[in-house]
A and B are shown apart, each in its own frame.
Chain A
Amino acid sequence: MDSTPQFFRHGPGPFARLGFFILLSCLLMAEDLRFKVFPEFRQTIAIMIYPLQKAALFPSATNAIIKQLIGNFHLLEENAYLRERYLRDSEKLLRLRALESENKHLRKLLGAVNTIETKTTAKAVMAEILYTPRDPFSHKITLNKGNLHNIQAGQIVIDNKGIIGQITQVYPLTAEVTLITDKDHSVPIQIVRNNIRTVISGTGKNNEIELRYLSVNTDIREGDLLATSGIGGVYPRGLPVATVSEIKRHPADNFAQITGIPIAGVDRNRQVLILSFSATLPDPSEKLIKESSVEPKNN
């Protein structure tokens, strides 16, 4: 067969080739969704496309530089505004400190167990959103901080108003954030008005999250503020998540259909904060607690 000229050798036909590649990609998808055997594979491709992504950012980067040059003229104004804002906020902070110490004191008086850490000193790293993906199936964004900036998977991302999401994949220079609107993402929350605990999940739509499995007679109203409950140890306590926008109670269903709007600018902001929050979970080595403790939910 060696005598066949190069021209006539085509290898397998197009249909066979298509079959091969469909099989290959199906295997890859199964691996990626279920088993996650080769996390390095994704990392390698991410490093390969990094220069291309950097090149794609070039127009917006130059735009930002020009904006900054123009913005320098407004610095005095901005400085005055920020100074005023700082004074106002520091007054609030002082009041918060007073409240905190008062709270501690009252707790002591009540003899309450001091389990809930009132730590507000979670370490924060500023990051910038590089891009939101083009296809509507994944609710993830990419930040410009990665392994090299000590970012780890599981850290949470907030903006000035509330929670945006959680870091789920870290590359050397970038990190992927799963938004709270992602279909597979849930946050343990509390209704601020009456402290009912529940879990809120994304719907896979932009700017909409839902409370699943809340019975029809639960005390919840439109406009209720939902904040993190701190249960589960991934999210710190008391960060605003969403407000309830619509409640539908069908007599036929066991559960009410409750949807909310995220408070944070999940699809708006450019700058975000990455919090490294260490939860004070009970020590699993203690036998007694071990049996009653709940596994921290990561997703």
Chain B
Amino acid sequence: MLSLKIIDESKLHPHKYFSRDMLAPAKLWYVLLSLALALILNFIPSQSFSLSARPDFAALVILFWSINQPQRMGMSIAFCIGLMMDVHNAGILGHHALAYCAIVYIASVFRRRLRIFDLMQQAPQVGLILLIMQGLLVLIALLNGSNLPDWTFFLASLTGAIVWPLIAFILSIPLRPRPDSETI
């Protein structure tokens, strides 16, 4: 009871939470398709500034699935996606793979809490998770002897948080239940 009082009730809207649609379980092909599209978005060549400011779409899609449908997004899939990113980046094999596994883990811990909030409220929290992921990437690179990257490198977390509501909304469109014509 005490813990309930700590939560600011004006910010939580139980009626909103309960009136939200339950998402239908996603088909495997849909999950894989979304991941492939995210990878393509990551692979699009671009110039220096937009390159660092571009959000990591693969990380966002992995986060979406591991928050909303954890049965579909295991660490093994995240690991494979990470390996693909590493080969594309010509980096160390296992660099992104480790980071993506870490965000799946973080999502699995905070999943229930995150799902209470709506998409707009989730955005800053997702940004924090992305920041942790980028911190991990930097840490591994530093251990390998790289220089500390520019501060613009961390812009990707910010832009990731900004596009999160949009991406989560788009991904959940096919999963929304169709309005039932027989209910009164």
Find A55's partner among B40, B74, B79 (CB 8 Å cutoff).
B40
Contact A45/B83 with A28-B97, A133-B88 known, Cβ cut-off 8 Å: yes
Which of B48, B87, B97, B101 has the most CB atoms of chain A within a 10 A radius of its CB? B87
CB-CB under 8 A from A46, the residues of chain B are: 87
Assembly CA distance A22 to B101 (angstroms): 8
Contact A56/B43 with A136-B150, A183-B146 known, Cβ cut-off 8 Å: yes
The answer to whether A15 and B84 have CB atoms under 8 Å apart is no
The answer to whether A134 and B79 have CB atoms under 8 Å apart is no
A11 to chain B, nearest CB (A): 9
B6 to chain A, nearest CB (A): 26
The answer to whether B93 and A31 have CB atoms under 8 Å apart is yes
CB-CB under 8 A from B93, the residues of chain A are: 28-29, 31-32, 41-42
B117 within 8 A of A: no
> 8 Å CB contacts to A: which residues of B103-146?
104-105, 108-109, 137, 140-141, 144-146
Contact A140/B90 with A52-B36, A56-B45 known, Cβ cut-off 8 Å: yes
CB-CB under 8 A from A140, the residues of chain B are: 90
The answer to whether A57 and B45 have CB atoms under 8 Å apart is yes
The answer to whether B147 and A203 have CB atoms under 8 Å apart is yes
B109 to chain A, nearest CB (A): 7
The answer to whether B52 and A136 have CB atoms under 8 Å apart is yes
- Report A47-64 CB contacts with B as 1/0, cut-off 8 Å: 011001101110110000
A222 within 8 A of B: no
Contact A33/B101 with A14-B109, A138-B90 known, Cβ cut-off 8 Å: no
Find A18's partner among B94, B97, B101 (CB 8 Å cutoff).
B101
Find A131's partner among B43, B102, B153 (CB 8 Å cutoff).
B43
Which of A21, A53, A204 has the most CB atoms of chain B within a 10 A radius of its CB? A21
Residue of B with least CB distance to A131: B45
CB-CB under 8 A from B83, the residues of chain A are: 28, 45
The answer to whether A132 and B45 have CB atoms under 8 Å apart is yes
CB-CB under 8 A from A267, the residues of chain B are: 48
CB-CB under 8 A from A49, the residues of chain B are: 39, 43, 84, 87-88
B93 to chain A, nearest CB (A): 4
A135 within 8 A of B: yes
Contact A136/B105 with A21-B79, A25-B79, A56-B41 known, Cβ cut-off 8 Å: no
The answer to whether B146 and A133 have CB atoms under 8 Å apart is no
> 8 Å CB contacts to B: which residues of A168-190?
169, 176, 183
B42 within 8 A of A: yes
The answer to whether A21 and B101 have CB atoms under 8 Å apart is yes
Assembly CA distance A250 to B148 (angstroms): 24
The answer to whether A137 and B91 have CB atoms under 8 Å apart is yes
CB-CB under 8 A from B147, the residues of chain A are: 183, 203-205
Assembly CA distance A248 to B84 (angstroms): 42
B51 within 8 A of A: yes
Assembly CA distance A218 to B76 (angstroms): 55
Residue of B with least CB distance to A29: B94
Assembly CA distance A31 to B84 (angstroms): 17
A-B contact pairs, 29 of them (CB 8 A): A14-B105, A14-B109, A17-B74, A17-B75, A18-B105, A21-B97, A22-B101, A25-B101, A28-B94, A29-B93, A29-B94, A29-B144, A31-B93, A33-B92, A42-B93, A45-B87, A49-B39, A56-B40, A56-B42, A56-B44, A56-B45, A131-B45, A133-B90, A134-B51, A136-B149, A137-B91, A137-B149, A203-B147, A205-B147
B-binding residues in A (CB < 8 A): 14-15, 17-18, 21-22, 24-29, 31-33, 41-42, 45-46, 48-49, 52-53, 55-57, 59-60, 130-138, 140, 142, 169, 176, 183, 203-206, 267
A-binding residues in B (CB < 8 A): 36, 39-45, 48, 51-52, 54, 74-76, 79, 82-84, 87-95, 97-98, 101-102, 104-105, 108-109, 137, 140-141, 144-147, 149-150, 153
Known: A24-B94, A25-B94, A26-B94. 8 other contacts (CB 8 A): A22-B98, A22-B101, A28-B93, A29-B93, A33-B144, A56-B41, A56-B45, A135-B137
